[in-house]
C-alpha cells in the first residue's frame, strides 16, 4: 500500500512540475508566436515587413522615391497593396511599364490605381486582376495596356518573376479552364508561427542596422525634381528629373540601340490560338461582372517601328497582334484606343518618347480622352479605332492639314 501511495505521489509531483513548466513556458511561446507573426521577415503571414511599409505609404497617399529598387519584388508589393485596400479603386490599370504613365490626370478620375508591373507578361495581366477578384475588390472599370508580346508563347515573352500559380488558379476557378497548379498548404504556413529558427531570423531582422542601402521612402521636396524614379500614390510612374529631360539625341540613340533586339519579339511569329481564346474568355468574364473594359495601346518610337517595318517578315507576330486584338474587341464591343504604330496617332514624333518603347503621358492624353468620355463613347457606340496601317507619309500629310481623309484624325 505504501508503495502504491509513494508511486502515486511521485507521479503527481512529476505532473505538477510539468504543469508548472508548461505555465512558465507559455509566455515564451506566446512571445515567439507574436514576434513571428508581427515581424514576419520573410513575408509568410503578412508579406515582407518593409514591403508592407511601402504598400502602406502608397495607400496613405504618399509618393515613394527609390521604388526601382523593388523591381524584383513588385509582384509581392502589388499583392500587399490589394490586400490592404479598404475599397476597390476605380479604375485599375493592368499592363507593363509601357502603360505606367497612365495616371489620375490622364484618366480624369479620382481613385485610379495603376497596377502595371515592370516586364509584365501574360501571366501577370490575368494574375493581377485575379488578386482583386479573389479578395472581392472588383472595380467597375478596367484599363488594359495590352502589349504585343502577350499573345506569344515563346520563352522570351515570359518573365521569371510572374506568378504562374496565381494565373493557373484564376483560369481554373474563374474561367472554367482546368489548369494544373499547386494550392498553398495552410499547415506549412502556420507551422512557422512557433518555429524557433524563424523566431531567430525575425529577431535578427529587428536588430539589423538600417544603414547602407537607401531603401524606398516617402518623397521629400518637389516630386518632379527627384534623382530617382517615383512611384506615385496612384500607382503610376514618374521617371527621374534627369531621365525625363534627356536630350532628343540621347533618346533617339537609345531607340536605335533597341532596334537590334526588339523587346520580346525576336521569336514571335504569330498570335497563339489558345491565348486568343483565353483572352476573349477573360474579357467576357469581366463583362459578366459588369466591368467596363477599355483597351489602350501605346506606340513605339518611330525609329523602332521603322526598323520593324523593314523586317516585317521577321516580326510577323508583332504586326499580327493588333489586328487580332481588334477582332476580339469588336466582337465584344470593347473600345481600343491608340496603336503600336506611332504614325496612326496624330502629331506623334520622336519627342513623345522616353526611349524606344516608353511613350510620354502627354502623348497618351492626346488619343485617350479619359475614362468618363470613354464610357460615354461606349454607351453611344462611338468607333474610336485608329488606322493602324497608317504610313509615315500619310501621317505627315494628315498632321500638316493636307490630308483629305479625315478618318485618320
CA distance 185 to 276: 32
Say if residues 237 and 231 touch (Cβ distance below 8 Å). yes
Residues of the chain above pLDDT 90, percent: 61
C-alpha cell at 325: 486584338
The domain spans of the chain are 78-188+217-408
Q: For 38-96, how does the pLDDT look when each residue is reduced to its tens digit (9 = 90+)?
A: 666 555 565 567 788 888 999 999 999 877 777 777 888 899 999 999 889 999 999 99
Confidence of residue 408 (pLDDT cuts 50, 70, 90): very low
CA distance 320 to 150: 12
Say if residues 293 and 286 touch (Cβ distance below 8 Å). yes
Q: Which residue has better confidence, 390 or 69?
A: 390
- Provide the terminal-to-terminal Cα distance of the chain, rounded to the nearest Å: 107
Quote the distance between the C-alpha of residue 350 and its chain's center.
27
Q: State yes or no: pLDDT of 249 exceeds 90.
A: yes
Other CB atoms within a 10 A radius of the CB of residue 228 amount to 17
Q: Which residue has better confidence, 207 or 179?
A: 179
Say if residue 225 is exposed, middle or buried (CB neighbours under 10 Å; 0-12, 13-18, 19+).
exposed
Q: State yes or no: pLDDT of 209 exceeds 70.
A: no
Confidence of residue 34 (pLDDT cuts 50, 70, 90): confident
Nearest to 353 by CA among 254, 212, 216: 254
Q: For 96-147, how does the pLDDT look when each residue is reduced to its tens digit (9 = 90+)?
A: 999 999 999 999 999 999 999 998 999 999 999 999 999 999 999 999 999 9
Q: State yes or no: pLDDT of 212 exceeds 50.
A: no
Q: What is the mean pLDDT of the chain?
A: 85
Q: Quote the pLDDT of residue 46.
A: 56
Q: For 351-363, how does the pLDDT look when each residue is reduced to its tens digit (9 = 90+)?
A: 999 999 999 999 9
Amino acid at each position: 500500500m505504501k508503495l502504491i501511495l509513494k508511486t502515486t505521489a511521485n507521479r503527481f509531483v512529476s505532473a505538477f512540475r510539468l504543469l508548472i513548466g508548461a505555465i512558465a513556458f507559455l509566455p515564451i511561446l506566446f512571445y515567439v508566436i507574436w514576434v513571428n507573426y508581427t515581424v514576419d521577415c520573410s513575408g509568410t503571414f503578412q508579406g515582407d515587413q518593409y514591403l508592407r511599409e511601402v504598400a502602406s505609404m502608397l495607400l496613405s497617399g504618399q509618393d515613394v522615391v527609390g521604388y526601382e529598387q523593388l523591381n524584383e519584388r513588385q509582384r509581392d508589393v502589388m499583392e500587399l497593396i490589394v490586400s490592404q485596400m479598404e475599397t476597390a479603386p476605380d479604375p485599375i490599370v493592368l499592363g507593363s511599364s509601357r502603360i505606367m504613365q497612365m495616371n489620375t490626370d490622364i484618366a480624369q478620375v479620382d481613385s485610379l490605381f495603376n497596377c502595371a508591373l515592370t516586364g509584365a507578361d501574360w501571366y501577370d495581366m490575368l494574375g493581377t486582376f485575379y488578386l482583386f477578384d479573389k479578395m472581392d475588390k472588383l472595380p467597375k472599370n478596367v484599363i488594359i495596356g495590352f502589349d504585343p508580346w502577350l499573345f506569344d508563347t515563346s520563352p522570351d515573352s515570359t518573365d521569371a518573376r510572374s506568378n504562374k500559380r496565381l494565373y493557373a488558379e484564376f483560369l481554373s476557378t474563374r474561367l472554367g479552364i482546368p489548369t494544373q497548379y499547386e494550392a498553398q498548404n495552410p499547415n506549412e504556413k502556420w507551422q512557422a508561427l512557433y518555429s524557433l529558427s524563424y523566431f531567430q531570423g525575425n529577431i535578427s531582422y529587428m536588430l539589423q542596422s538600417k544603414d547602407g542601402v537607401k531603401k524606398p521612402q516617402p518623397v521629400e521636396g518637389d516630386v518632379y525634381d527627384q534623382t530617382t524614379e517615383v512611384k506615385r500614390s496612384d500607382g503610376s510612374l514618374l521617371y527621374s528629373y534627369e531621365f525625363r529631360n534627356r536630350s532628343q539625341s540621347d533618346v533617339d540613340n537609345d531607340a536605335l540601340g533597341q532596334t537590334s533586339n526588339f523587346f520580346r519579339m525576336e521569336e514571335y511569329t504569330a498570335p497563339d490560338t489558345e491565348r486568343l481564346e483565353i483572352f476573349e474568355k477573360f474579357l467576357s468574364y469581366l463583362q459578366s461582372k459588369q466591368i467596363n473594359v477599355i483597351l489602350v495601346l501605346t506606340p513605339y518610337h518611330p525609329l523602332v517601328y521603322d526598323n520593324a517595318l523593314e523586317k516585317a517578315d521577321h516580326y510577323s507576330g508583332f504586326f499580327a497582334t493588333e489586328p487580332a486584338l481588334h477582332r476580339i474587341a469588336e466582337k465584344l464591343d470593347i473600345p481600343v484606343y491608340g496603336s503600336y504604330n506611332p504614325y496612326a496617332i496624330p502629331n506623334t514624333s520622336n519627342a513623345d518618347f522616353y526611349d524606344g518603347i516608353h511613350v510620354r503621358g502627354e502623348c497618351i492624353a492626346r488619343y485617350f480622352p479619359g475614362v468618363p468620355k470613354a464610357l460615354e463613347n461606349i454607351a453611344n457606340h462611338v468607333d474610336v479605332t485608329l488606322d493602324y496601317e497608317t504610313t509615315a507619309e500619310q501621317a505627315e500629310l494628315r498632321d500638316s492639314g493636307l490630308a483629305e481623309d479625315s478618318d485618320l484624325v
